[in-house]
């Protein structure tokens, strides 16, 4: 469980030299983001790198972290790379496969039994190749990383879109697909288009019911789910320094919901205190010695408009608690306006379930603030009206809050403590409901609330708020209740009002744990055997994807023209499908089953041009593949937003889809497609989306001269004999074009390792 102190020393030793070189190359003062990115460039060419938003740049991350669902495919790919050990410190965290159903102990026991094959594979492959392994029950990847591995000024990639959580400790931490993780573990540079920079200046100080969660809920309302795309968000100002390190982690975590590459705060006394409180005083000492490099230059923060592409200012003193939703995390409502919004929009006012915790809000501070509200339910004789669940973020937090009596407080109000895992946040939740067709409302302290995200039910209106606001709503059972102003009738018939929440940033007695759940790898992994049963329905060794045939791609059928929002949840659902994350063929049976077909406004129903009949998307695609016919998927704006899951790219590749044509891509998904040798292209004119008809035969021309910045051409052959032709764009650079030609980046890695 060591935090690689020698590696951190090496990073800090070069900071002064690298920052000085960056200043010389750019001739200007630097943001924190620029300092960290420059310190991790592989070639040291700041002149190229600081052409922001233009060039792809190679970086050398300090570490890799993977959650169990995505780690399966990433490690199956890594096994093909030919390396005896990972090239950078890497860890696997078993947090996604535990279904929340009854309670922590029973659910964890069931998960260990049901997922034994997968856990054994992950443990053995970690043992063999030198990865740290966090067992099921140890906690959620992002909380465990914050407690053990994140360090100011570092750079990390993780196979989960909420990897930016580590930005709360001043780390550039970026969510990626498993193929990117595989590359870095294999010792290759990691490529990123140099981002734009958004500065968020925080003034004032939080008080009362307002919390760090409300900062990001407010920012999401300002920027929307696309406003941060291609950008890193850097928070600064006196308000930023007043926030706890875990509060900053909450803000950075949910920055994924605005499409940001990552979010970050500078190193300050709050970060130092958290490092020391989590037994990393050595890191705090090292950081203190280079602290001027672990925050932006004073001149930057004094005149932010000169250094950031966009600047937002939020006064924390005036910030109201927010509730965001339903169905999207950027529909932001100040608490004073939320009740009116509920009534005017006809959303179900009765609250059925309140859920707190998750990777976004499960710190000691979060739990204590929520518990201070929960205690009032007991003390003031209030009967909790909604179901209430608590998901601790790690065994360290769970053990500590249990020691300090807070779990008993939740039990007294009727709360159920779930396992230290993602659970309901990602759809791993056996929802207790008597009528799944009823429109209903739930509220969580999670990060995402897309339709069907939590419980697979399109009728569930999911809202997002801070843990303390969620707790108050669970007590009231009514979404028109405002805990800041309204009273509740208790069991004695009295009108009582909830007091403001009170929390503790760090446990007074310090953190404690008996078994954190960590397994160190073998010193010599050469003798460790990784077994995958050929008959397994959960795990499947990979075969390389085929290389490009060297010609234009013609005669494609339209598999689906997706209408509206099409996230990675629509492309490759989570929930019960998580059990197939290590078996590409089996999980491909969920491909695009959540996407809405433009031509019939129905999910999982597309026309098979070979039969003329409508059927499920995966079955239709398998029929095309069996007949040797390639297909194309057409999508709308921000296609592939949401979770980083590379399965959303691998499944179409595996089943024979040749290209994805959309109005715009979410960053991680576009990269995932490129890694798998898939052609991802965008309409030069978004109105051309309307030209695509259900019965079209489609050609993609220009591939024989495929080059960076050079448009391709799409030709539509309509059923009536007419044609349409239009230009399409791409963002492939020279290296990525080689991935396409080779059939995937892994094919090139394998060839390099073999030579």
Residue 611 burial by CB count (10 A; 0-12/13-18/19+): exposed, middle or buried?
A: exposed
Q: Which of 95, 214, 268, 696 is catalytic?
A: 95
Cα–Cα nearest to 330, from 448, 163, 199: 448
**Is 448 known to be catalytic?**
yes
Asked if 185 and 78 count as a contact pair (C-beta separation under 8 A), the reply is yes
End-to-end CA distance of the chain: 35
Counting every residue written for the chain, the total comes to 755
**Is 645 known to be catalytic?**
yes
* Structure tokens, 273: 């205190």
* Structure tokens, 448: 């995402």
State the residue for tokens 């790919």: 77
Asked if 233 and 344 count as a contact pair (C-beta separation under 8 A), the reply is no
φ, ψ of residue 24 to 5 degrees: the values are: -65, -40
**Is 95 known to be catalytic?**
yes
Measured between alpha carbons, how far is 46 from 212 in angstroms, rounded to an integer? 34
Q: Which of 280, 461, 645, 717 is catalytic?
A: 645
* All residues at 6 or more sequence positions from 247 whose CB lies less than 8 Å from its CB, including other chains: 168, 211, 212, 363, 365
Q: Which of 107, 160, 268, 297 is catalytic?
A: 160
φ, ψ of residue 421 to 5 degrees: the values are: -160, 175
**Is 643 known to be catalytic?**
yes
Asked if 195 and 232 count as a contact pair (C-beta separation under 8 A), the reply is yes
Asked if 238 and 203 count as a contact pair (C-beta separation under 8 A), the reply is yes
Q: Which of 40, 63, 93, 96 is catalytic?
A: 96
**Is 160 known to be catalytic?**
yes
Asked if 615 and 608 count as a contact pair (C-beta separation under 8 A), the reply is yes
State the residue for tokens 């260990």: 112
Measured between alpha carbons, how far is 118 from 120 in angstroms, rounded to an integer? 5
Give the distance from CA 499 to its chain's centroid: 34
**Is 18 known to be catalytic?**
no
72: left (phi over 0), alpha (psi -120 to 50) or beta: alpha
Q: Which of 280, 293, 448, 717 is catalytic?
A: 448
Q: Which residues are catalytic?
A: 95-96, 160, 448, 643, 645
């Amino acid at each position: 469980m060591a935090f690689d102190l020698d590696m951190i020393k090496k990073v800090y030793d070069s900071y002064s030299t690298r920052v000085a070189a960056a200043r010389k190359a750019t001739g200007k003062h630097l943001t924190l983001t620029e300092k960290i990115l420059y310190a991790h460039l592989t070639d040291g060419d700041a002149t190229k790198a600081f052409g922001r938003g233009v060039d792809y740049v190679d970086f050398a991350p300090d570490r890799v972290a993977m959650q169990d669902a995505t780690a399966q495919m990433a490690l199956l790919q890594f096994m093909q790379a030919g390396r005896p050990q990972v090239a950078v410190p890497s860890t696997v965290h078993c947090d996604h496969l535990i279904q929340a159903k009854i309670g922590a102990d029973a659910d964890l026991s069931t998960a260990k039994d049901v997922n034994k094959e997968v856990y054994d594979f992950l443990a053995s492959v970690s043992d063999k190749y030198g990865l740290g392994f966090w067992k099921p029950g140890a906690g959620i990847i992002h909380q465990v990383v914050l407690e053990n591995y994140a360090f100011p000024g570092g750079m990390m990639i993780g196979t989960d879109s909420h990897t930016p959580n580590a930005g709360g400790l001043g780390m550039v931490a970026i969510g990626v697909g498993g193929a990117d993780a595989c590359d870095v573990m294999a010792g290759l540079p990691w490529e990123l288009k140099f981002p734009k920079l958004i500065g968020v200046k925080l003034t004032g100080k939080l008080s009362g019911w307002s919390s760090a969660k409300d900062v990001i809920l407010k920012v999401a309302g300002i920027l929307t789910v696309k406003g941060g795309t291609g950008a890193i968000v850097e928070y600064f100002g006196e308000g930023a320094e007043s926030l706890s390190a875990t509060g900053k982690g909450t803000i950075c975590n949910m920055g994924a919901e605005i499409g940001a590459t990552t979010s970050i705060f500078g190193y300050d006394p709050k970060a130092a205190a958290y490092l020391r409180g989590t037994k990393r005083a050595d890191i705090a000492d090292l950081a203190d010695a280079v602290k001027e490099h672990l925050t932006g230059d004073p001149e930057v923060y004094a005149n932010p408009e000169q250094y950031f592409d966009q600047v937002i200012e939020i006064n924390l003193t005036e910030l109201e608690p927010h509730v965001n939703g339903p169905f999207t995390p950027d529909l932001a409502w100040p608490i004073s306006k939320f009740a009116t919004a509920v009534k005017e929009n006809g959303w179900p006012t009765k609250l059925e379930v309140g859920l707190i915790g998750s990777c976004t809000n499960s710190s000691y501070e979060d739990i204590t603030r929520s518990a201070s509200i929960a205690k009032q339910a007991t003390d003031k004789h209030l009967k909790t009206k909604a179901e209430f669940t608590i998901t601790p973020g790690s065994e360290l937090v769970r053990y500590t809050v249990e020691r300090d009596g807070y779990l008993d407080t939740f039990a007294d109000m009727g709360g159920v403590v779930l396992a230290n895992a993602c659970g309901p946040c990602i759809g791993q939740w056996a929802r207790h409901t008597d009528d799944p067709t009823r429109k209903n409302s739930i509220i969580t302290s999670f990060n995402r609330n897309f339709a069907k995200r939590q419980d697979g039910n399109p009728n569930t209106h999911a809202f997002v708020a801070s843990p303390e606001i969620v707790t108050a709503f669970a007590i009231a059972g009514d979404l028109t209740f405002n805990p800041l102003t309204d009273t509740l009738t208790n069991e004695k018939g009295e009108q009582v009002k909830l007091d403001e929440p009170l929390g503790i940033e760090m446990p007074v007695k310090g953190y404690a744990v008996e078994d954190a759940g960590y397994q160190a790898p073998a010193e010599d992994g050469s003798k460790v055997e990784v077994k995958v049963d050929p008959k397994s329905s959960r795990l499947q060794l990979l075969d390389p994807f085929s290389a490009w045939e060297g010609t234009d791609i013609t005669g494609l059928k339209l598999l689906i023209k997706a209408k509206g929002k099409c996230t990675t949840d629509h492309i490759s659902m989570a929930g019960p499908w998580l059990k197939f994350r290590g078996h590409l063929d089996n999980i491909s049976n969920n491909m695009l089953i959540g996407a809405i077909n433009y031509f019939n406004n129905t999910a999982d129903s597309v026309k098979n041009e070979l039969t003329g009949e409508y059927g499920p998307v995966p079955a239709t695609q398998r029929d095309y593949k069996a007949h040797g016919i390639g297909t194309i998927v057409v999508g709308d704006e921000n296609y592939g937003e949401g979770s980083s899951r590379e399965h959303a790219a691998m499944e179409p590749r595996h089943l024979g889809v040749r290209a994805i044509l959309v109005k715009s891509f979410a960053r991680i998904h576009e990269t995932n497609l490129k890694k798998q040798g898939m052609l991802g292209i965008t309409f030069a004119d978004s109105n051309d989306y309307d030209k695509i008809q259900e019965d079209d035969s489609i050609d993609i021309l220009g591939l024989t001269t495929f080059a960076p910045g050079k448009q391709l051409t799409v030709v539509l052959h309509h059923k009536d004999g007419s044609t349409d032709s239009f230009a399409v764009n791409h963002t492939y650079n020279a290296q990525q074009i080689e991935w396409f030609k080779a059939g995937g980046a892994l094919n090139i890695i394998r060839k390099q390792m073999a030579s």
